[in-house]
């Protein structure tokens, strides 16, 4: 479709494969599959869920929220709260942090947190600067309230003055889309900001818990680009054997990227009980954030 090559893409990004959802598939379909498996792993029934938070930039429709549609698909009849969070590639960190606050306050016991995006639907397939980077996916976790950590802390940030460097500016107006509905990105600018803010927020999370870099056992970063991931790991003094990398298999899946990486490492049995995991992401907004958890 565009003038590019595997070698160019792989050397710049580390991406080998991407998944594109079949025609007619919507974000809540992927979210449903991921949620079903997360609920099964958690050993609860869907009606025990008190809160659904879906991080997505590509909702099924303008409204209602994808979380509301997901609740119905899961057959949840208990009237639980359900809403979407929009922080693009940082969405899952924002969603997890939001759910964590509700559980900490004692308001809810079980939260379903989903990162799901169909970026393929908002990509201009003639723009080689963006179309090679993105894929579709969904990942989900069930958070349970408990006395043991769990999530140690979360740290969220945004600098809206950078909103133009990564955006899909189109909006519905008078029955038409006004402005471009496709992803527009200044790749170089995003790259520089990403490396800087991921380092800053990692330090913030580590210091907030009275830890040092050497206390971090695993890094589960947003999966956008292997060079951003490697630069982040280097600044943290971590070998790549302690970094979960899945970007080669699915490209940048936006809000789904972190939970997909978490799921793949968890199912491979890579994490040991008591290990400290740093998850972090950056995306449009520009938003960024980190979350430390004890496995």
Pick from 59, 283, 285, 289 the residue near ligand ACO by CB under 6 A. Answer: 283
Does 187 contact ligand ACO by CB under 6 A? yes
Token couple for 46? 């869907």
Token couple for 136? 């579709």
Query: To 5 degrees, how large is the angle CA 157–CA 163–CA 166?
Result: 105
For the segment 131-170, give every residue that binds ligand ACO (CB under 6 A): 132-133, 166
Among 220, 192, 193, 190, CA closest to 205: 220
Asked if residue 278 lies in contact with residue 219, where contact means CB atoms within 8 angstroms, the answer is: yes
Does 190 contact ligand ACO by CB under 6 A? yes
Does 105 contact ligand ACO by CB under 6 A? no
Q: Give the nearest distance from C-beta 81 to ligand ACO in angstroms.
A: 28
Token couple for 234? 């280097």
Alpha-carbon distance of 34 to 257, in angstroms, equals: 13
Q: Which residue is nearest to ligand ACO (CB)?
A: 187
Distances, alpha carbon 146 to alpha carbons 38, 106, 149, 277, in Å:
18, 10, 7, 18
Q: Give the nearest distance from C-beta 133 to ligand ACO in angstroms.
A: 6
Instruction: For residue 252, indicate whether it is catalytic.
Output: yes
Catalytic residue among 80, 110, 167, 222: 222
Instruction: For residue 167, indicate whether it is catalytic.
Output: no
Q: Of the two residues 153 and 186, which places its CB atom closer to ligand ACO in the complex?
A: 186
Tokens 């449009």 appear where? 284
Does 7 contact ligand ACO by CB under 6 A? no
Binding map of ligand ACO across residues 9-38, x = CB under 6 A, - = no contact: x--xx-------------------------
Instruction: For residue 89, indicate whether it is catalytic.
Output: yes
Pick from 225, 232, 253, 287 the residue near ligand ACO by CB under 6 A. Answer: 225
Pick from 10, 83, 162, 191 the residue near ligand ACO by CB under 6 A. Answer: 191
Does 78 contact ligand ACO by CB under 6 A? no
Asked if residue 232 lies in contact with residue 198, where contact means CB atoms within 8 angstroms, the answer is: yes
Q: Give the nearest distance from C-beta 187 to ligand ACO in angstroms.
A: 3
Tokens 């509700």 appear where? 102
Of 31-39, 78-86, 110-118, 219-227: span binding ligand ACO (CB under 6 A): 219-227
The residues binding ligand ACO (CB under 6 A) are 4, 8-9, 12-13, 89, 128-129, 132-133, 166, 185, 187-188, 190-191, 194, 222, 224-225, 252, 282-283
Residues annotated as part of the active site? 89, 222, 252
């Amino acid at each position: 479709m565009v003038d590019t090559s595997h070698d160019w893409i792989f050397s710049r990004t580390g991406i080998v494969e991407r998944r594109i959802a079949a025609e007619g598939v919507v974000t809540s379909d992927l979210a449903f599959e991921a949620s079903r498996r997360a609920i099964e792993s958690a050993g609860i029934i869907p009606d025990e869920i008190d809160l659904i938070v879906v991080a997505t930039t590509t909702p099924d429709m303008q409204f209602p929220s994808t979380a509301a549609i997901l609740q119905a698909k899961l057959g949840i009849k208990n009237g639980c709260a359900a809403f979407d969070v929009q922080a693009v590639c940082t969405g899952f960190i924002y969603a997890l942090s939001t759910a964590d606050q509700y559980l900490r306050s004692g308001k809810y016991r079980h939260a379903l947190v989903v990162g799901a995006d169909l970026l393929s639907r908002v990509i201009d397939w003639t723009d080689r600067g963006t179309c090679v980077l993105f894929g579709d996916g969904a990942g989900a976790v069930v958070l349970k309230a408990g006395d043991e950590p769990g999530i140690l802390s979360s740290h969220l940030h945004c600098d809206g003055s950078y909103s133009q460097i990564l955006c899909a500016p189109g909006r519905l107006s008078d029955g038409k889309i006004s402005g471009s509905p496709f992803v527009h990105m200044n790749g170089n600018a995003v790259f520089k900001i990403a490396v800087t803010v991921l380092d800053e927020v990692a330090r913030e999370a580590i210091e907030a818990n009275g830890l040092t870099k050497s206390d971090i056992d695993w890094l589960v970063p947003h999966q956008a680009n292997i060079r951003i991931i490697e630069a982040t790991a280097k600044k943290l003094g971590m070998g790549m054997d302690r970094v979960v990398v899945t970007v080669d298999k699915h490209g940048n899946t936006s809000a789904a990227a972190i939970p997909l990486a978490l799921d793949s490492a968890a199912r491979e049995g890579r994490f040991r009980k008591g290990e400290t995991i740093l998850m972090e992401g950056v995306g449009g907004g520009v938003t960024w954030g980190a979350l430390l958890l004890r496995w």
